[in-house]
Structures are given as C-alpha cells and as structure tokens.
Amino acid sequence: MSLDLPLVWAAILAVAVLLYVLLDGFDLGVGALFALATPEERDVMTASIAPVWDGNETWLVLGGGGLFAAFPLAYAVVMPAFYLPIMLMLGALIFRGVAFEFRAHGRRSGRRFWTFAFSAGSITAVLAQGFVLGAFVQGIKVHDQAFAGGPLDWLTPFSCLTAAALTLGYALLGACWLIAKTEGELQLKARRWARRLTVAVAVCMALVSFATLSVNPAVTARWGVSMSHIDWSKLAPLSPAPLLGGLALAWLYLTAGRDQTTYAPYASAAVAFLAGYLGLAISIAPYVAPYQLTLWDCAAKDNALALMLVGVVIMLPVILGYTGFVYWIFRGKAKAEHGYH
Amino acid sequence: MHLDPFIVSRLQFAFTVAFHIIFPAFTIGLGSYLAVLEGLWLLTKREVFRNLYLFWIKVFALAFGMGVVSGVVMSYEFGTNWSVFAVKTGSVLGPLLGYEVLTAFFLEASFLGIMLFGWKRVGPGLHYTATCFVAGGTLFSAFWILSANSWMQTPAGYAVEHGRYVAVDWLKVIFNPSFPSRFAHMVTAAYLTTGMTVLGTSGLLALRGRATEESRTMQRMAIGLVAILAPLQLLIGHESGKVAQAYQPTKVAAMEGWWDTGRQPTILIGWPDDKAETTRVLLQTPKGFGSWVVAGDASAELKGLKAWPKTDRPPSLIPFWAFRFMVGLGLLMIAVGLGGAALWASGRLDRSKLFQWAALASGPSGFAAVICGWMATEVGRQPFVVFGLLRTADAVSPVAAGAVQASLAGFMVVYAIVFSAGVLYIGRLLVLGPQPSEPEPDGHPMPVRRVLVTSTEQGA
C-alpha cells in the first residue's frame, strides 16, 4: 500500500487547526467582547464558555505538537521565525486561561484585574495569531533548512491587516456563540455586535484577499489574477471558495437580527471561516514553510507518521465523540450561577 | 557573563519547566485523590467524603488551570528555542508527544468541564466517570512525557539517518531503559506531594482550632498514604539511581561528588568544585559505602568525573546539592508518615501539637523535592540534551539574543503575577478548610458572588 503519509498528515493538521479556529475562536472572541458588556453580563459570558474552553485550547496543542511530530523541519523553521508573536500569544493565553478561575476567587480589585486580564489576554492572543498568519502567508526566509531572518520580520502592514481581521473574525464567532447561548438583553446586544462585525469581517476578508494576491507572485499565478489581467480558466474552478464566504456572511447578516435564530449565525460564521481557510490553503499549498519548504520536504520519517496515524484513526473519533457529548451536556442557555462555585 | 541566546534559552526553559512541573506534580496526585474521595462518597454515602471532594475540587481547579496554561508553553518552546533538537528528534519524540495530546490532554480538558460544572447536570455515575477520566488523563500524560524525557536520558531503539534520529523499534523507544523506574518515581513523587499538602493543610486547621471531622479524616488518609509511599519511594529512587549508574555514570558521579575512580564513599556534606576537580568534604562515610549503595558491592571500583574529558562532564554543584535536598526531604516525609502512623495507632494523633506543627512545616516538602529531583536529573544530563548523542549547545534555535531576553523577562513577570495570585487563592481556600456542609457547585453560588437576576425573572 502506498499511502502518501505526509499528505494525510497535512490534511489531519489542517483539520485540527480549522477546529481550533472555530472552537477556541468563539471563546477568545467572547473574551474580546468583554469590554463591551456589563459586569453581570460578563458572568453569563464566562459561564457560557467555562466548561468547554480548555478542550477548545487543546486543539492548539495538537496543532503545535502535531507540527513537531509530523513535520519537524517545518516546526523548526516556523517557530523561530515567529518567536516574538508566539511568545506573546503564550503569555496572553496564560493570563486569560487562569482568569476563568481567578475571577471567581478574586475580591474587589483582584476581580477587576482578572476581568481585565481575561479581556486583554484574549485580544492579545488573537492579535498574535493574526500576526503569525499574515507573516506565514508572506513567506519565511530560509537558508540551509533553518530560519535565516530577523526577529521582527513578521511585523508588516500585511500582518497588521491580518491581525485586525482575525481579531474581528474571532469576535464575530464570539458574538454568534452568545446569540446561541444567552437570552434577553445580552442576546440582543450580541445580535447587534454580530451584524456590525459581519460587515467589518466582510471588508477585512476582501482586503486580505486582494492583498494576498500582491504578497507573492506564486499566489497570483495560482488564482490567475493580476492587476492587469484575469485568467478565468484558473479563477473559475477556485471561485466557489470566495463565493461561499460572501454568501455565508450575507446569510449571517440576515439571520443575526432575527429573533428565532440561535445556532444559524454561528453556523454561517463557521462557513465563512471555512471559505477563508480554503482560500488560504489554495494560496499556499503544498508549502508548510511558504514558499521554501513543501510538506514532503519537512515530513517526519514514515514509521513515525504511520504510528501516529494509528493513534489518530482510533482516538480522533473518540475525542470528537466525547467533545460533542460535553457540548451536549452543557446545551441550553447559560446562566451566571452556572459558572463559578 | 555574556548572555547569548543559548544561555538565555536554557534559563528560560529551566524557568518555564520548573514553574510548570509544580502543577502537574500536584494535580496527578490530587486527581487520583478526588477519584478516591468521590468513590468513597458514592459507596458509603458518608457526607464527610462528599465535603472533602467538593473542597479539594476547588483547589484542583485552580492548580489544573495553571498547569494547563504553563504546559501549552512547553509544547511550543521545543520549536521556538530548541529548533535543532526538534528537527533531529522529531521522528522519535514527536509521536510520543502526539500520543500524549491524543490520549491525555483531550481527555482531561473535556471531562474537566463535567467534573467542575456538571455536579447538578449529570448523574452521580457519570460525574464519577468524569473524575476518573480526568485522574486517568493526568496519569496517561505523565506516562508519555516521562517516556519522552527518559528517552532523552537513555536513548534506545533508534538509528541515525542524515543526521536525524529515527525509530527502529518503537517498544524500545517508549520503554527505554530508564523509563519504568523514572515513571514510577515521578508518579510516586506526585502522590507524595499531594499527600504532604493534604497533611500540612490538616495540621494547619488543627493548630488554628478549626479541625473538623473532614480535616481529621483527610489527615488520616494522608498519613496512610505517606507512611506507605514515602519508604517505597526510597526504594524506587534507588532503582532509578542504579539505572543511571549503568547508563549515565557521569550524572551519578556529579550527584555523588566523585572525582577519582575507585572504591567510593558517600559524601554527606561537601562542596564540589568543577575548577579544582575536587569535592571539599565536611562529612562522609568510609570508602566503599558509596560503592555498596550504588553498585551493591563495597569493593566495586566506580568512576569519578575525572575519568571523562572536561567537555563531557555535567556541572557538579547543582546535581550534588539538589540530590541531597531531595533525599533529605524524602527522609523527612518518611519520618512524618511513620510518626503520624504511630500516633494514630496509639490514639494520640489529634492531641499531638508537635505532630501538627511537623505536618504543617513539611506541607510543601513534596513540591521542593520534585523541583530538586528534576534539577538533579536534568542538570546531571548535561552537557547533552539527548544523552551521549546531541549536545545542548548544538540544539538551540537561530533566534536573536534580544528576542529571547525579552521573552524570558516577559515570562518572569507573567509567572510572578500568576503564581502569586494562584498561591493567594489556594492559600485562602486551605486556611478556610473543608466545611461540614460544602456548598454544591452549579446553582448554589457562594455568598461572595453576585446572584444575577435571570432574564425570565426580568421579563416577569
């Protein structure tokens, strides 16, 4: 049997990262929206994500650990290249992660501090991920199979744009989650947030899409789009991805305001993210360290990939099963007193 | 001292891993303890076990949260700071860490939600299952990470291809020579850490006149655990030492402060000096005793550090003293455990103020012993990151020194804040102690918390 193990592993990690974005995205987004809510609403907001955030963040560990395990060379090139934003993300995740518990234990000033830490930590973590995303798309300077750039290479106008876009996108996921999990005044607020954020995200996605075409000729060639000329034979087969994104956002804008809808806005936002993600995959595949090293250049030894594939085939359905089960247990509207003891 | 990225990366890794290890060391033991408590509550329906469960789960939630967030850091640091290590060992260690995520992290993280917030949402059977899964998850996690770390101490089952390590026999990789004894040593250490913390808390409550049936019960449970495990740990640690002598004799020589080859003494107090290549001895046994302890034969000729070139020796001061502190703390635990058991047997336990003071004073000894043990074993592995194969100096990432200095400074600030707050909040819980009617989580918020008017009430 000749299974292309590196390709299989690229697909597994792509799914893990997508799940991370869709799941931790909403709980980071809820944190990003914290500043706009009243103290009472904040308790409901944390109660809506407290039982699941830890599982959500584990997909990030699978992403990092999986990259190390399946593509050690990519891990070794990418991590040093994004040293500072990754450290920033880790520090921010520490603050917002402990804040779940600490908010409940803090007295007056402590509670205020951890409320701020939760909000600022969530926003900083997303911004850092957005910087990494932008810098990743722009490409990494590689020499002799190692990172050869400077410590601030990741900071560019393009990565600032992707950082802003991702933050707004996570906030949108968060608002959609709150529509599903809350009721009354807070839900009305969440609907307003979701509609405004949908417009902002649509603008950002368009800007990022056009800017992506200018960052690297390889991307332009793949989409068949340049400043002066459009090659429809290339663009047409790929066009479902951006079209899907546009439709999903339009649907989201319409449904977010309707009283009866609960999960439809979140589902639409997830589809919009999926579309953006597919567009990204089209732009950079098969590179795992754009545009220098492909997934086959970076893959671990086949017997390592095979051993882990056995683990994934057995464990991933189990993990998805009990993750779904936990979400089902905590279904329904969140109440403040459901949260911390 | 010139602060190049290598030195700063080492400092940062030592700092972040030492901070991280505190929490798993506690939650591995506490997870199992909670499973025991909830099992006893379901079995006997005695309120005291329910109250103890609901008390310790609050501590667990705080410690677990800090363990999770400081652990995420570790999974990225291999790449950010040790990228050459990552490339060279990825095909061997990657799957072990991958299995840790797949079999342990998701299990813990998902069922923790049910454990903390599901008390009133799910039936007692399912809640107990969640507790057991979380406890099991902490042990699975320890299994894989100890396997990976042990491979770095005693690599086996590998071959070298294009300068990178690949596995030729996975069972030999996973169950490498030092893994069984080191895994047993670490899990026992985690149980002892929890036992000593529980014991110390019960001592504190007794001394403050706040002893309850709950605190007396947990004190007896902790004494039982420590009285059995602390002596056993001495034997397990000894096994681990014998494996180290067989595979990493430089580490043992550094821990023992031996420089010359011959029949070795056991140095009790001394000051090893790498420059002078000698240990200034204050107190030691006759020659041959050290050989007997390590090799089981008083006439065994064991190598001293001078038998290896200077470039292959670990620095000796840290392993030497960290090892002595660890063993000393272990002996203290044995004394407290056996002393407590004797008092319990003679019915004088609750009246002995001296014992309650000893319990309180030795409460943090498990944490200190774990940190000392890790310092001894990790510094003892130097100058290699994978013993005998890959030098730590050759494993570092091509990152700018300024970036690493900035991140280390950042971690120090962040961890100082998080640690102080965590200690404060855990401390407040411990000082209060378990109450005769612990409030049930979910639906019964504590008085300090605001009770929100739900939207239905608002609408009415």
ipTM of the complex: 0.91
Residues 143-172 of B with CB under 8 A from A: 161, 164, 166-167, 170
Q: How far is A35 from chain B (nearest CA, A)?
A: 19
Contacts within 8 Å (CB) and 24+ apart, A154-160: A154/A81, A154/A82, A154/A84, A154/A85, A155/A131, A158/A134, A158/A211, A158/A215, A159/A130, A159/A131, A159/A133, A159/A134, A159/A135, A160/A131, A160/A134
Phi, psi of A316 (to 5 degrees): -60, -45
Q: What is the mean pLDDT of residues A315-327?
A: 95
Query: Minimal CA–CA distance to B355: which of B343, B346, B367?
Result: B343
Q: How confident is the model at residue A17 (pLDDT cuts 50, 70, 90)?
A: very high
Residues 173-232 of A with CB under 8 A from B: 183-186
Inter-chain contact A308–B449, Cβ cutoff 8 Å?
no
Q: How far is B185 from chain A (nearest CA, A)?
A: 26
Q: Is the pLDDT of residue B448 over 70?
A: no
Q: Is the pLDDT of residue B422 over 50?
A: yes
Any chain A CB within 8 A of the CB of B451?
yes
Inter-chain contact B83–A79, Cβ cutoff 8 Å?
yes
What DSSP character marks residue B315?
A: P
Inter-chain contact A93–B72, Cβ cutoff 8 Å?
yes
R_g over Cα of chain A: 20
What is the reported pLDDT for A277? 94
Set of chain B residues whose Cβ sits within 8 Å of the Cβ of A189? none
Of A69-73, A181-185, A193-197, B455-459, which range is least confident?
B455-459
b (16+ CB within 10 A) / e for A239-252? eebbebbeebbebb
Q: What is the mean pLDDT of residues B203-219?
A: 94
Please, what is the Cα angle at B73 between B86 and A283, to 5 degrees? 65
What is the reported pLDDT for B453? 33
Any chain A CB within 8 A of the CB of B430?
no
Phi, psi of B46 (to 5 degrees): -85, 125
Contact B416, B66 (CB under 8 A): no
Residue of A nearest to B89 (CA): A72
Phi, psi of A227 (to 5 degrees): -60, -35
Secondary structure percentages of chain A, helix, strand, coil, to 5:
80, 5, 20
Count Cα neighbours of B213 within 13 Å in the Cβ-side half-sphere: 9
Any chain B CB within 8 A of the CB of A118?
no
Q: How far is B342 from chain A (nearest CA, A)?
A: 38
Q: What is the mean pLDDT of residues B37-57?
A: 96
Q: Is the pLDDT of residue B442 over 70?
A: no
What DSSP character marks residue B285?
A: P
Q: What is the mean pLDDT of residues B306-325?
A: 96
How high is the mean pLDDT of chain B? 92
Residue of B nearest to A93 (CA): B69
User: Nearest by CB to A97, which of B68, B92, B445?
Assistant: B68
Q: Is B163 helix (H, G, I), strand (E, B) or coil?
A: coil
Set of chain A residues whose Cβ sits within 8 Å of the Cβ of B449? 104, 337, 340
Cα dist from A71 to B79, B157, B252, B397, whole Å? 11, 21, 36, 16
Secondary structure percentages of chain B, helix, strand, coil, to 5:
70, 5, 20
Inter-chain contact A68–B410, Cβ cutoff 8 Å?
no
CA A253 to CA A237: how far, in whole Å? 27
Q: What is the mean pLDDT of residues B63-79?
A: 90
The predicted-structure confidence for B366-421, as pLDDT tens digits, reads as follows 999 999 999 999 999 999 999 999 999 999 999 988 999 999 999 999 999 999 99
> What is the number of residues in chain B?
460
Inter-chain contact A68–B78, Cβ cutoff 8 Å?
yes
- Single pTM value for the model: 0.93
Q: How many CB pairs under 8 A join A and B?
A: 280
Count Cα neighbours of B336 within 13 Å in the Cβ-side half-sphere: 35
